[in-house]
Structure 1
Amino acid sequence: MTSKDCCHDEDEKKETARRIIGGILTFIVIVLLVVFIIWVVLRPTKPRFILQDATIYAFNLTAPNILTATLQVTISSRNPNNRIGVYYERLDVYASYHNQQITLPTRLPFAYQGHKDITIWSPFLYGNSVPIAPYLGLSIQQDQNAGLVLINIKINGKVKWKVGTWVSGKYHFNANCPAYITFGNKGNINGFNIGSAAVKLQLSSACEVDVAV
């Protein structure tokens, strides 16, 4: 075999490799283009969350910067999409005050939401003797004296979209639901006592929802 033949064989191998790589890249581009077109046509809309009510069993400062909070919240979620289902892979719920977490996270059960479906959860949130920043303790005392405390019910986790048999990867999910807790004689007209130590507040508060890669 001459050197010319060897060079010819090497050129053929290089050309074959280029064709294989080019075919793979073309396939990937087509798949991504199809996914993008489906995404644009379907126009997925974020789920809508509402904090329906909150039952307050305890919300007490036992020291200048030690807070005990026990409550149960009712959260409803609606999938507004006509052609897209939603998998809630992992959602944790907790309460916060001025961006400081004041209860342990409670894991919501796995759920699949079909087109236009509604899901309702009623988790308990517990925060027993939680240390908070000293200035927050003073702020809570001032809010309680004024008769109104704003806490935020936050939901963090992962969701996936489902179109037909295709299921997307996981997306980061965050929701923030404001809850106004009333105290003393300035109580909320939508609140009523449950037993001797609990107060249930009807809230119907829309949550701010964010879904990101």
Structure 2
Amino acid sequence: MSAHYPYERRKCYRRLCAILSWFIILILITIFLIWLILRPTKPHFILEDATVYTFNLTTTSATLNLLTTTLQLSLAARNPNKRIGIYYDRLDVYATYRGQQITPPTSLPASYQGHKEVTVWSPFVNGNAVPVAVYLGMEISQDQNAGRVLINVRVDGRVRWKVGTFISGRYRLNVNCPAYLSFGGGEYSSNSVLVGSTAKYQLVQQCYVDV
């Protein structure tokens, strides 16, 4: 009788482990099916406007160009989902010109975005005497002389999805917002207004979002 009892106890443990395993699997399958049914849609980003305080290129030698940039951006993000919330755990915004980063990243505060909500950030991005390649310096000068410079406002970060009480793992977020800035002779394009000695560009530019 005493030898038979440990065998029965081990058998009960195995059954209990099997039941718990199947229960966990069932929960995971249920979450996965809910996830497929809800089909989360990536957030929509819009670059609403950009105020240019500084955009100066300085040539110090035949091999060195320095670009100083100061911008204030108005960046809006919208959660298009009806039943899914979005956690923005970390967002860094910066500016690039023809693929080269021209400002250090500016961190945006972590936030939660409920269903169909809109969040607006107004960060400053600053790059003080950032070295740029010689050919890029020539292209910046040519663009300024032509009266129009294309920069790209980029956002890199991590997001999580919230479905009910379930919160997903982190996903990488990449946002690219093209922005055309007008220069030359004190004449500004129809999408800009003078704010003191600076120009504020009304862009309302849809951004490309990849999650």
Normalising by structure 2, what TM-score? Answer: 0.88
Question: In percent, how many aligned pairs have the same letter?
Answer: 56
Q: Secondary structure at the match of 2:87?
A: strand
Q: Does 1:89 align with 2:85?
A: no
Q: State the distance in 2 between where 1:130 and 1:19 align.
A: 66
Unaligned runs of 5+ in 2: none
Q: Does 1:34 align with 2:30?
A: yes
Q: State the distance in 2 between where 1:176 and 1:210 align.
A: 9
Q: State the distance in 1 between where 2:90 and 2:204 align.
A: 24
What is residue 147 of structure 2 aligned with on the other side? 147
Q: CA deviation at 1:177?
A: 0.5
Q: Secondary structure at the match of 2:202?
A: strand
AA in 1 matched with 2:41: T
Q: State the distance in 1 between where 2:45 and 2:163 align.
A: 21
What is residue 173 of structure 1 aligned with on the other side? 173
Structure 1's consecutive aligned runs of 4 or more residues displaced over 6 angstroms after TM superposition are: 15-18
- Alignment length, in residue pairs? 205
Unaligned runs of 5+ in 1: none
Q: State the distance in 2 between where 1:25 and 1:148 align.
A: 62
Normalising by structure 1, what TM-score? Answer: 0.87
What's the CA shift string for 1:70-115, capped at 9, x where partnerless?
0001001111111111111110000001111100111111211111
Q: CA deviation at 1:31?
A: 2.7
What is residue 162 of structure 2 aligned with on the other side? 162
Larger mean CA deviation between 108-117 and 124-133 belongs to 108-117
CA RMSD of aligned residues (A): 2.2
Larger mean CA deviation between 200-209 and 27-36 belongs to 27-36
Q: CA deviation at 1:26?
A: 3.1
Q: Secondary structure at the match of 2:27?
A: helix
Q: 1:57 aligns with which of 50, 53, 58?
A: 53
What is residue 194 of structure 1 aligned with on the other side? 195
What is residue 102 of structure 1 aligned with on the other side? 102
